[in-house]
A = this chain, B = another copy of it.
């Protein structure tokens, strides 16, 4: 029996939110619908934030209303507060994904409030959603903050504990700016699983410094079975302009399948979708697999070799 890996595609939320040009609603809906046919366990469709804060995702209700939901796929959305949670639940989101940073400076920079204030606000959301919609919490900068540097593992797992005690279904441990290395990932994953055997633990990696798939390997070796990824490696953070962003879903799924894991994803179908992405966003994307093809896709034998063989 192959080990099952649950993959969460975040391109239309985490990828699109920092794009320079608005991706038309129709293109978003078509992309989600195409991804729905690929076999993902979960798709993070959009974000119910203020249209002023993230204008790229100002069409959250319309996108959620128009997508065709595939059986077996969970449709999750990012939610920053009570108002967003109400909108998300009205849109019949299967899950609310809340977010705060484990670094005080990063939380102040991104969410404009101290971590304790974020926690109190998210706790309200969790209590309000209780019995209606499952909640996941994404903990940012869990492997390092671009301004503070190291974030102690104890700090990260401390926040995870406080959310677990509120009854969330899952926690995503996020390497928001690609600072994690595999030894650190292995330690974090082992300890998180030991402390939270009943939580759905997801790992979210970026490839900012080229370590994305190495970190996936370290996590999967440690027993993690849930990952976020972004089609084409779209997304990223403003602290590393020009560098890669999120790990590429197709590159990650290709590696895991080659190693014998069951991701549930139809890689050929996924690559067809991935090939449309540069046109949707109007620029090249970092994913490698569209350029190189899967390692199982062979090249024809050159004519010169055939001729040479005939002379041997």
Contacts and interface: CB of A to CB of B under 8 A. Distances in A.
A interface, size bucket: 35 or more
Given A254-B209, A288-B208, A299 B216 contact: no
Contacts of A312: 114
Contacts of A114: 312
A207 interface: yes
Contacts of A224: none
Main secondary structure of the interface of A (DSSP, over half): loop
A181 B148 contact: no
A18 interface: no
Contacts of A309: 108
B255 A182 contact: yes
Given A114-B312, A258-B181, A209 B305 contact: no
Given A214-B255, A240-B291, A149 B298 contact: yes
Interface stretch (A22-30, A53-61, A132-140, A241-249): A241-249
Residue of A109, A211, A248, A258 contacting most chain B CB atoms (<10 Å): A211
Interface in A201-259: 207-214, 216-218, 239-244, 248, 251-252, 254-255, 258-259
17 contacts: A105-B301, A108-B308, A109-B304, A114-B312, A146-B298, A148-B298, A149-B296, A181-B255, A182-B259, A184-B258, A209-B292, A210-B213, A211-B213, A211-B255, A217-B217, A240-B292, A244-B288
